[in-house]
Structure 1
Amino acid sequence: MNCYIDAGNSRIKAHLARRSQKTVEPVVIDWPTVNESDPVGALATRLEPLLVDEKGRSPKQVVLASVVEPRRRDWLGTAIAEICPQAECRWLEVPGKCCHVRVAYESPTDLGIDRFCGMIEARARHPDRPLAVINAGTAITLDVLAADSQHLGGLILPGWRAQMEALRAAAPALTPAIESLEGAGAPAEPTDASPVPEATRRLGLAADTATAIELGRHWLIAAGVNQMVSVWQERLADEGVLLVVIAGGDAERLADLIDPYLEHCLETDLVLSGVVRLARARR
C-alpha cells in the first residue's frame, strides 16, 4: 500500500491507498505550532494512526506534495522516517507536461506543486473546455487552462486568514478587532469559516472596526476574483464557456462570492486526488 500526502500551509491531508479499498476518506492532520517543544514528535503522534494499521502494517511508499517551508518539510520527513523507516519517501516535483497539462512557466519547478496537481485533476474531471482552477486556502491561487490543456498562467491572492495576519502585523492597533473576529484570540480554522455576511450581498458599510475588516476582506476577494474570471471568460470565449473550478478549505466561502452569471462548481479533495494522479502517471 502507498500513502499520498498533500502538505499545505494550513493543514496536511493524507490518503492511504489499499488495494482492497476503492474509496477512502482522506485524513486531515494539523501542523504542530511553532512553540511546541517537540514538533516532530507531535507530528509523528498524529501521523502514526494513518501510517500503521491495526496489524502493524505500514506503506512501502509515501508520496508527498509540499508547498511548505524547509523547516516543516523536514519535520514531516523525519516524522515519517520514525514511524515507518522502511518506507520510501517520494517528493513530487512539477514536470513541464503531464496528464495532458502543459505548464506555462519557463521553469516548471517554480510553480507550486499544489497548483499543478489541482490543474491536472480539474482537467481529468472536466475535459475539453477552458477552466479557471481556484484553490482557496491560506493563499487563493487562480490558474487558467485553455481548452487544449495549455496552462496560460495564474495569480496568487492572500486568503481570508492571510489578510488578517497581514493586518495584525502591519497595523497592531487593529489586533483587538481582529481577535474579536477570530474568537477569544484563537485563529479560526479554515473549515470553521463564518458565513459570508448578508451585508456583503448589498452595498453595505460597517459601523464598527471588526465588521469593517470582515466586509473589507470579503469585498477584496470577491472583486478581484470576479473581475479576473470575467476577463478570462471574455478572452477565451472562442474556446467555449469558461468553467470555474473551486477547491480548498475556503471553497464554499469563496463560491458564495462568485458572480452567479459565471459557471462554477465545487470540487472536493482536488489537490490530493491530483497528487495520486501525478504519482501514478506515465510521463
Structure 2
Amino acid sequence: MRTLVFDIGNTAVKYGCFEDDVLLETAAGLTLDQLLTTVQRLQPQHVLAASVAASTADWIEPLRHLVAGTVVEFAPATTPVPLRNAYATPHTLGADRLAAAVGAAWLRPSGDTLVVDAGTAIKCDWVERGHTFRGGSIAPGLRMRFAALHQLTGRLPLVAMPTDPTAAVALMGDDTQAAIRSGVLNGAVAEVEGLIARYRASSPRLAVILAGGDARFFQPRLKGHIFVIPELVLLGLHRILVHNVEN
C-alpha cells in the first residue's frame, strides 16, 4: 500500500511517501502546486495532511480529486489514532507532537519512551509503555532563542546557527556573539540533558528518540544511548493514516 503524508510546519511543508512501512522519499519546502504535482507523480492510494500552522482545508480539497482512496485531515482531538491520548486538552495538542508519539509507540510497543523533537520548538514528550501519550514540555527552539535575544533587546546582535551542526561550541564566549552562541546552544543541550535525566530517574529503562530538523546538533552532545530518527513525525503520520484506512 502506498501512502503520502504531509506536515505543514511553522517553517516548511514536508511530505513523506511510504510503501507499506518503508519511507521511499521525502522533501521539504513545497508549495501547494508542487505538492499536487508530487501526488500525481507518486500516485498514492491514501493521503493524510497535518498542520501545526495554517489550516489544511486548502490542501485537502484538491487532493480529494486526485486520490481514489482515503484522504484524512488530521485533527489530534478527533482523528482516531493507535494510541491512548491522555492529554488534558487534546484540542490544543500539536499534530506533530501526537504524530511523533504514535511513531515512537509503533517502534517501541511495550517500553517507556521519551521523544525529543528538536525543530522550531523543542518538544520533550512521554509515551508510557508504548500505549499512552502523557504529554511533556515545549520550549523555544534554537533559532527562536537566537531571534528572541536580538528582537527583545536593544543591542544584542542576531547570531546564526553554525553551518556545521557538529562543530564544537565554546563554553566561554570571549565576545558577544560567542557568548550568545554559548548561551543558546550549550544552554539548550544542558536543558534537554536535565529533562532526560529526570525522566530516566522515574523509568531507568527509558528509551530516548531524537527527531526534528536540529537532531544533528543534539545527537553528538546528549549523554547516554539515543535513537536518532529524524523522520519520526512522518512515520507517525503514516501509521495514523494506516490506522484510519484499516479501521
TM-score category, normalised to shorter length: 0.7 to 0.9
| Paired position in structure 1 for 2:39 | 51
- Offset at residue 268 of structure 1 (A): 3.1
Name the SS for the 2:134 alignment partner: strand
Q: How high is the TM-score relative to the length of structure 1?
A: 0.74
Choose which of 230, 238, 245 in structure 1 pairs with 2:197: 230
Identity %: 24
| Paired position in structure 2 for 1:3 | 4
Q: How high is the TM-score relative to the length of structure 2?
A: 0.84
- Offset at residue 12 of structure 1 (A): 1.6
Choose which of 222, 230, 233 in structure 2 pairs with 1:268: 230
Residues 112 and 85 of structure 1, relative CA distance in 2, 3 Å threshold: closer
Choose which of 57, 63, 71 in structure 1 pairs with 2:48: 63
- Offset at residue 233 of structure 1 (A): 0.7
- Offset at residue 274 of structure 1 (A): 0.7
- Offset at residue 197 of structure 1 (A): 2.3
Q: How does 1:136-215 map to 2 (within 5 A)?
A: 136-147=118-129, 149-175=131-157, 178=158, 181-182=159-160, 194-199=165-170, 204-215=171-182
1:66 corresponds to which letter in structure 2? S
Name the SS for the 1:94 alignment partner: coil
Runs of 5+ in structure 1 lacking a partner?
A: 31-42, 183-187
Once residues 121 and 185 of structure 2 are traced to their aligned partners in structure 1, the CA distance between those partners, rounded to angstroms, is 14
Structure with greater helix share of residues: 1
8 A contact 1:62–1:87 mirrored in 2: no
| Paired position in structure 1 for 2:220 | 256
8 A contact 2:105–2:130 mirrored in 1: no
Once residues 194 and 90 of structure 2 are traced to their aligned partners in structure 1, the CA distance between those partners, rounded to angstroms, is 27
- Offset at residue 45 of structure 1 (A): 4.3
**Superposed CA RMSD:** 2.8
- Offset at residue 25 of structure 1 (A): 1.4
Residues 13-62 of structure 1: CA distance to partner in whole angstroms, max 9, x if unpaired?
1134568x9651112225xxxxxxxxxxxx23432441222xxx855654
Number of residues of Structure 1 aligned to a counterpart in Structure 2: 240
- Offset at residue 158 of structure 1 (A): 0.7
Residues 44 and 136 of structure 1, relative CA distance in 2, 3 Å threshold: same
2:94 corresponds to which letter in structure 1? G
Once residues 249 and 231 of structure 1 are traced to their aligned partners in structure 2, the CA distance between those partners, rounded to angstroms, is 24
Once residues 22 and 238 of structure 2 are traced to their aligned partners in structure 1, the CA distance between those partners, rounded to angstroms, is 13
- Offset at residue 107 of structure 1 (A): 2.9
Once residues 230 and 64 of structure 2 are traced to their aligned partners in structure 1, the CA distance between those partners, rounded to angstroms, is 31
Once residues 234 and 247 of structure 1 are traced to their aligned partners in structure 2, the CA distance between those partners, rounded to angstroms, is 22
